[in-house]
Amino acid sequence: MRYYCPSCWKDYWDKDFEICPGCGYNIKAHNDKDYVDKLLNALNHRAGEVKHWVIMILEQRKEKRAIPYLEKLAEDTDDPSLAKAAKGNCKN
Ligand SMILES: [Zn+2]
């Protein structure tokens, strides 16, 4: 199992920290946040594969709240496949 700090995106293996050892972010408090907020936050992840995965989940959930975030991502990204995925979602 792989864990990410939702603040600095440092990744950890086999250990689920409550407080990120890298930046001091309270991961436990973060995990209590709304699931959609977490997904939207993950759109800022540096790894394109994570963004693709998040877009897919938002699409399945038909999250209207995600639309402005996806539009911005489609504009800002220099990854054409990511822009396509984000734009496709906005049409739903
Ligand atoms: Zn951190």
The CA distance from 19 to 78, in Å, is 33
The ranges assigned to domains in the chain are 1-32, 34-92
* Chain segment 9-60, per-residue pLDDT in tens: 888 876 778 888 889 988 877 766 678 888 898 998 888 899 999 999 999 8
Residue 40: predicted pLDDT? 92
Q: State the distance from the centre of ligand 1 to the C-alpha of 26, rounded, in angstroms.
A: 8
pTM score, two decimals?
A: 0.61
Ligand 1: centre distance to CA 76 (Å): 24
Cα atoms found within 13 Å of the Cα of residue 35, Cβ hemisphere only: 5
Distance 37 CA to ligand 1 centre (A): 17
Per the structure block, which two tokens stand in for 70? 């996806």
Helix (H, G, I), strand (E, B) or coil at 24: coil
CATH topology of domain 34-92: Leucine-rich Repeat Variant (1.25.10)
36 in Cβ contact with 66 (< 8 Å): yes
pLDDT, tens only, 70-80: 999 999 999 99
Q: Exposure of 66 by Cβ count < 10 A (0-12 exposed, 13-18 middle, 19+ buried)?
A: buried
